[in-house]
Chain A
Amino acid sequence: MKLQIVYDNSAQPGFKAGWGFSCYLPEFKLLFDTGWDVRRLLYNMQKFNIKLSQVEKVVISHSHWDHAGGLPGIIQPHMEIIVPESFSEHMKEEIRKTASLKAVTGREKISDGLWTGGELGEKIKEQSLAVETKTGLSVITGCAHPGLENIFDALAPAGKIEAVVGGLHDFADYQLLEGLKLIAPAHCTKNKSKIRDLYKSKYLETPVGQTIKF
């Protein structure tokens, strides 16, 4: 199982960085979030040889510019766009004009081996994903605004959580990461250096261009 970072605040040489987050899961033909600047997103996708015609599903974690901003520039009729139920009604209507729309509320399987934790959070509603691997679950977050503990709780019934990739915002409950095999904090994670110091052997940077294997 592979995950390719196509948008992040940092980038490997040859790729373009930008504030925001997006990653691609080739096995599911799924793009998670879109970053902000669609030109950077498409540039990075092209570097990975990912064509928009291949992308079947686009999951938007939450309606913030640095995660959903690229959506209008990539949406195509063959795509299914999966958003939290509370997503802007205007934008849901706009998506329906071009592609098929799925609005999620609770935890559900969106493909064989792939789960959404459903819409979580109070002020900022957000969904996260979990990919089934041979031994457990790898969680993918946009910003983790609802709190990583709540995200883990929502996804735990689908399997044992072994990895987390994505933005963790101001997460500081470090014990929660104790049993994980892989920790790859991205984008907005405020306490990256602390997490890296605590979990050196499991820690992975997430610049654009990075491929993570589960």
Chain B
Amino acid sequence: MIIEELLSSVAAGLVGREVKDLRIGFGYTGAWLEGGAAGVAFSFRRQAGHYCELKSGSGELHQRDAMELARLALKPRLVDSAAGMAVINAALSEKIGEKENINGDVMEYIEVKPGEKWGMIGNFCPLVDRLQNEVDLYVFERELTDKYLYPDWSAPQYLPKMDVVVLSGTTVINNTFDSLLPLCENAREVVVLGPSTPLAPEIMASKGVTLLGGAVIEDPSRAMRMVSQAGGTRTLLKVSRKVNLALK
């Protein structure tokens, strides 16, 4: 299970450490490690459910041991798993050196061959706009808000036929990543994309992922404020640098 591997990889840097701040926003959940980096994970607000208390211990969560918070990533409730993944992503981003990143558009690192089949788990609108006239594009989403979307439940039927698969980093949070990866074995490129992407090149490469397109937050203080004010991907990218890691 990928989350367990990610937890093992960050444990040494998190045990006994404090979390300076933890925010659960409408767009993203953010964690800022004491004396260190911040990380974000998508907040599944529509799937959060209706509870009097969405997150027990709120107001004091940041006082817990960072590793304890990271372990929330294993919990089935998405409010918990997003909080855990934000802590893990913060720890992972501390391992990304300045020179390692390729700060630019992820599409510069994937060859687009006209007529190929591309599968996209998550509706990355800017990518859809650019690709829909060049490749045979299948975009899978739970909420079918546009006609071009395919229901998420049909992905297992199509993914094995794809030449390129783009998975949202959110698939790690909602625990679908492990079941989707084996379906991508025939793809020449498997990309994990978005600010929730765990920047763990060794682990991801061992799963067959060929490219990571994530982000490292450069201004944690502003990023946490943005998270609290329902900021989304575009807003967060103002205080982050894109990190593209080719894994093959």
Contacts and interface: CB of A to CB of B under 8 A. Distances in A.
B150 interface: yes
B142 interface: yes
Interface in A74-96: 88-91, 94
B157 interface: yes
B153 A65 contact: yes
Contacts of A69: 153
Nearest to B176: A65
A63 B149 CA distance: 12
Contact of A68 (B50, B151, B156): B151
A201 B218 CA distance: 62
A72 B156 contact: yes
B154 interface: yes
Interface residues of B, number: 12
A72 B151 contact: no
Given A72-B157, A170-B50, A63 B151 contact: yes
Interface residues of A, number: 14
A24 to B, nearest CB: 20
Contacts of A7: none
B50 A89 contact: no
A170 to B, nearest CB: 7
A88 B156 contact: no
B24 to A, nearest CB: 23
A170 B153 CA distance: 23
B234 interface: no
A72 B150 CA distance: 13
A187 B59 CA distance: 34
B144 A63 contact: yes
Given A89-B147, A170-B50, A36 B154 contact: no
Interface of B: 50, 142, 144, 147, 149-154, 156-157
